[in-house]
């Protein structure tokens, strides 16, 4: 597995955990506007990486964006 594949897998798993947290917290009113905004930003950056990967035949191009998204998810 290439390093960019590994980093993408980590970021995707982190997004899954963040979405699980949001799915639990939103209905109970424990997920505020700031958290929604942060999660949306992370998902938007992850979407950019996935789109680039699709356009580039499976190669992740913007490793910096991917690393930033993974770091935000890890610190979340």
> Which of 20-24, 25-29, 36-40, 66-70 is predicted with the least confidence, judged by mean pLDDT?
66-70
Q: What is the pLDDT of residue 60?
A: 60
Q: What is the pLDDT of residue 71?
A: 67
Q: In the chain, what percentage of residues exceed pLDDT 70? A: 74
73 pLDDT more than 70: no
Q: Domain residue spans in the chain? A: 3-75
Buried b (16+ CB within 10 A) or exposed e, 16-46: eebeeebeeeeeeeebeeebeeebeebeebb
Q: What is the pLDDT of residue 76?
A: 57
Q: What is the DSSP string of 33-64?
A: HHHHHHHHHHHHHHHHHHHHHHHTTT----HH
């Amino acid at each position: 597995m290439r390093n960019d594949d590994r980093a993408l897998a980590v970021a995707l798993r982190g997004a899954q955990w963040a979405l699980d947290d949001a799915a639990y917290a939103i209905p109970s009113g424990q997920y505020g506007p700031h958290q929604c905004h942060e999660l949306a930003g992370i998902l938007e950056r992850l979407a950019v990486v996935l789109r680039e990967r699709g356009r580039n035949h499976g190669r992740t191009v913007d490793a910096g964006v991917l690393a930033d998204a993974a770091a935000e998810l890890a610190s979340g």
